[in-house]
Amino acid sequence: MNSFLTELKALKVGKIKENERLANHTTMKIGGPADLFIEPSSIENLQKTMELIRKYNLNWRAIGRGSNLLVSDLGIEGVVIKLGSGLGALEINGTEVKVGGGYSLVSFATVICKKGLSGLEFAGGIPGSVGGAVYMNAGAHGSDISKILTKAHVLFPDGTLEWLSNEEMEFSYRTSVLQKKRPGIVVEAVFQLVEGDKDVIVAEMQKNKDYRKTTQPWNFPCAGSIFRNPLPNYAGKLIETAGLKGFSIGGAKISDMHGNFIVNDGNATAQDVMDLIQYIKDKIYELYEVKMETEVEIIGKNLQK
């Protein structure tokens, strides 16, 4: 790691920190240190970083704004790459928009809607980065990223960059090809939107934002939806019907507002959250014979699943 760090610093790729606590970079405010934490200042510098990681055969993980993540209290071995402002460019060309993977999804949706472009109203209030949203096909209110994405610019572990079409992304419910078959980092995305009445578009996005504020516990540290909806059922409804709202293990608590949210009610550990997730899985299967699958990504050292 010392030789890697020396070479990396010589490349001047961006911000570099050793043993950076990931609780500072996750919306759940949970997570131990990363051996090395890098925030590249450009796509080119991200590519240089990835090539060096490959040279030294190091473990790596990319994050955006830290939503949809549960990180072990023991942290992450190897390198954590954060997509931040260095990958935050935005280009609007008529109804086609290209945006960097590090751009805030909420900010992106707000800017686009105020331009009178429709298609991102569903994203009002969804935390996270554009890159993360594409990676997991984020969605709400009957729409998702797959409905508007034209192509994604992806950096693969071998250091190569490739544009993947919508079809090549193999989108499905909260999933893309990048999660399992072809791991990679979304550095840019191109969206095809449509012109519309700015006032109507902005009002629709604000309605979606307000709905989230009144139904989801965004005033507490949380990671967003914990479980995928086991369609035709809904995870939150099953958990609420089972009488689990408010149930807690350690500092991890099922939200009083929404059954599919676990909040950090003070000093929750990652293991508290894992234990609560397992408790919910067992209870829902016992009552309804429905298998619950997590939507939140669980990463890091020695988490007992």
One domain, residues 247 and 200? no
Of the residues 174, 176, 212, 255, only one is catalytic, namely: 174
Known catalytic membership, residue 240: no
Q: What type of residue sits at position 260?
A: N
Helices (H), the chain: 2-11, 43-56, 105-114, 130-136, 198-215, 235-241, 270-288
One domain, residues 60 and 96? no
One domain, residues 70 and 117? no
One domain, residues 52 and 159? no
Known catalytic membership, residue 295: yes
Residue 222 lies in a domain: no
Q: What type of residue sits at position 131?
A: G
Of the residues 39, 121, 188, 295, only one is catalytic, namely: 295
State pTM to two decimals. 0.92
Of the residues 67, 118, 225, 255, only one is catalytic, namely: 225
Residue 304 lies in a domain: no
Known catalytic membership, residue 174: yes
Tally of domains within the chain? 3
DSSP assignment letter at 172: B
Residue 229 lies in a domain: no
Domain span at residue 63? 2-82
Q: For each of the chain's 305 residues, which pLDDT tens digit applies?
A: 889 999 999 999 999 999 999 999 999 999 999 999 999 999 999 999 999 999 999 999 999 999 999 999 999 999 999 999 999 999 999 999 999 999 999 999 999 999 999 999 999 888 899 999 999 999 988 899 999 999 999 999 999 999 999 999 999 988 999 998 999 999 999 999 999 999 999 999 999 999 888 999 988 999 999 999 999 999 999 999 999 999 999 999 999 999 999 999 989 999 999 999 999 999 999 999 999 999 999 999 876 55
User: For 202, what's the count of Cα atoms within 13 Å in the CB-facing half-sphere?
Assistant: 8
